[in-house]
Amino acid sequence: MTCRDAIAVLADYLAQDLDPETVAALERHLADCGPCTTYLATYTKTRAIGAEAQRVEMPDEMKARLRRFLLDRLERS
């Protein structure tokens, strides 16, 4: 398995949606590849932060400012 292959299946790996052979190949790759292990850790942390952010209600003022910003950007394009 290459680094590109590993990155392509990480989401499925974390969701436990891979066949046992692919899991084994990925885990062998991760055991020998520091950059992919770091990528996996960063990816996992980013997903956790994103999931937590979805649970926090955005203040109404922030929603309004974001809406104005996005509409402004759409009008300019």
CB count in 10 Å sphere of residue 36: 22
**What is the pTM assigned to this prediction?**
0.64
DSSP string, 30-48: HHH-HHHHHHHHHHHHHHH
Q: What pLDDT is stored for residue 61 in this prediction?
A: 92
Q: What are the domain boundaries of the chain? A: 3-76
Q: Where are the alpha helices (DSSP H) in 1-77?
A: 3-14, 20-32, 34-54, 60-76
What are the mean pLDDT values of the chain's consecutive 10-residue runs (77 residues total)?
92 94 97 94 88 77 88 80
